Amino acid sequence: MKLLVAVDFSPQTEAILAAAGGQARALAAQLCVMHVVAPPPVLKGHRPAAPDQPPIELEHREEHRLIQEAAANAREAGIDATGVLVEGPPAKMILREAANLPADMIIIGSHGFGPALGLLLGSISKKVLKEARCPVLVVPIQRSEE
C-alpha cells in the first residue's frame, strides 16, 4: 500500500505528517512525502527560462532539505518513506504524483495558504478531493485554544 502526503511547510505541516505517519503504521504502507514548489509567474511577453536551469533540488535547496528531513524522520520511526520535490500547480502535481505512484490514499491539509492567496488560487484540498481517483484524508486545521 502506498500513501502520498503533500505538505507545504505551513504551521499545519507537523499535524499532517503525524496523521500520515499514523496511517502508514496502521496500514503497513509506504509513505511518499511530497512538496510542490509553485512555478515562477510568467509575465506576458516574457520569455521562459533557458532549458539549462539547475535541477529543482539545487534551485530550491531549503525545500529539498526539509522534504528529505521529513522522509528521514519517518524512516527513523520505522516507516518506509521517500521524499519528492516537484514544481508546478499544486493540485495538478499532487494528482499527477498520486497517479504515478500509484497512491492508495492522498493525505493533505485542509489549508496552508493564507485566506487571501487561497481565494486567488482556490482550495487545493477541494481540487484534490474533487479529482482524486483514490481516497483522500484531509487533516483539519489545528486551532490553538483561546
DSSP the chain: -EEEEEE--STTHHHHHHHHHHHHHHHT-EEEEEEEEPPPP--TTPPPPPTTPPPHHHHTHHHHHHHHHHHHHHHHTT--EEEEEEES-HHHHHHHHHHHTT-SEEEEES--S-HHHHHHH--HHHHHHHH-SS-EEEEPP-PPP-
What is the pLDDT at residue 61? 87
Pull the grid cell for residue 15. 499535524
- In the chain, where the domains are located: 2-39+54-139
Say which residues have a Cβ less than 8 Å from residue 129's Cβ, sequence separation at least 6. Answer: 136, 138
The model's pLDDT over 24-66, given as tens digits with 9 standing for 90+, comes to 999 999 999 999 998 776 666 665 555 666 666 667 888 999 9
What is the pLDDT at residue 74? 97
What is the pLDDT at residue 1? 96
Tens digit of each residue's pLDDT, the chain (146 residues): 999 999 999 888 999 999 999 999 999 999 999 999 987 766 666 655 556 666 666 678 889 999 999 999 999 999 999 999 999 999 999 999 999 999 999 999 986 555 554 554 458 888 999 999 999 999 987 665 54
pTM here is 0.82
Answer CATH for 2-39+54-139 from 2.60.40.10, 3.40.50.10420, 3.40.50.620, 1.10.3720.10: 3.40.50.620
What is the pLDDT at residue 84? 96
What is the pLDDT at residue 121? 46
What is the pLDDT at residue 55? 62
Q: Which of 107, 112, 141, 137 is nearest to 124 (CA)?
A: 112
